[in-house]
Amino acid sequence: MLALGLLVGRGEAQSCTQKYGGAAHCEEDKSRMAGRRPKSPVTPGGDCQRAERKTRRSHQDLCQQSVSLVFGMLVIWTWMLALALLAGRGEAQSCTQVFGGPNLARGRPTSQSSTYSHTDGITGISSYAVDGNCDGRWISRSCTHTNQELSPWWSVDLGQRYDISVVVVKIRQDCCGERTRGATIHVGDHMGDFSRTSVICGTITDLRDGSLSTVLCNGARGRYVTIAIKGHTTILSLGEVEVHGTRSGKPY
């Protein structure tokens, strides 16, 4: 559409220079009038000059209107294109943010306190949170889901120790955001560890369905990132989890 707008604009610009050749027409009028004697005294070239000025003014007005119209169309088309790109990107990358490094959790081994299976044949396995699918809907097989239990948790094994800077969490999108109330993010050295020996990065406070929470860990060091709702009997359901950080230079 942008290319079409440019072509239209180019066409209008060409019409401004090609359609109204006022000076050329005046020269033709002069040539035709040269062989005839005027019936009354006139100022030489006066009528032609006035006609040329009038034609030039009409030409300029038309050019300004054409340019304004084309510019307005280009602005509208540009916004429509931008909105279309953002809409497509939002569906595919709604839980992706740029932090200057790879997602350390993507495709890594995961575990959770329990796994819920529905009668529709879908099971909320823990690996759904690191599959790179940011859809966040149960029907899309993109959500983890524990049973309703005391202190449910989910955990990912990063394979080695990292200094964790940021954890990004997208909760389930199609319902039940309130279930995530009180969920805390921990960095430690054991799977499912949300004890006092782990480092608490922060708490998920945005409970809107499908919300995206960015929690700073400020270099907390560990191999495992765990999300837990300690002390509450509830369900933990996650859409996607991303972990960003740098490799730790210190041993265990």
Residue 170: is its pLDDT beyond 90? Answer: yes
pLDDT band with cut points at 50, 70 and 90 for residue 18 = very low
Which H or E run contains 55? helix 46-93
Residues 31-46 have a mean pLDDT of 51
The pLDDT of residue 70 is 57
Per-chain mean pLDDT for the chain: 77
The pLDDT of residue 208 is 94
The pLDDT of residue 205 is 93
At position 134, the amino acid (one-letter code) is C
The pLDDT of residue 120 is 87
The pLDDT of residue 76 is 55
The pLDDT of residue 82 is 40
Half-sphere exposure of residue 18, counting CA atoms within 13 Å on the CB side? 6
> Do 151 and 230 contact (CB within 8 A), yes or no?
yes
> Do 166 and 95 contact (CB within 8 A), yes or no?
no
**Helix 46-93 vs helix 22-34: crossing angle, to nearest 10:** 160
Residue 31: is its pLDDT beyond 80? Answer: no
At position 221, the amino acid (one-letter code) is R
Residues 46-71 have a mean pLDDT of 64
pLDDT band with cut points at 50, 70 and 90 for residue 83 = very low
Task: Spell out the residues 6+ positions from residue 5 whose beta carbon is closer than 8 angstroms to its own.
Answer: 70, 73, 74, 77
Residues 5-33 have a mean pLDDT of 46
pLDDT band with cut points at 50, 70 and 90 for residue 145 = very high
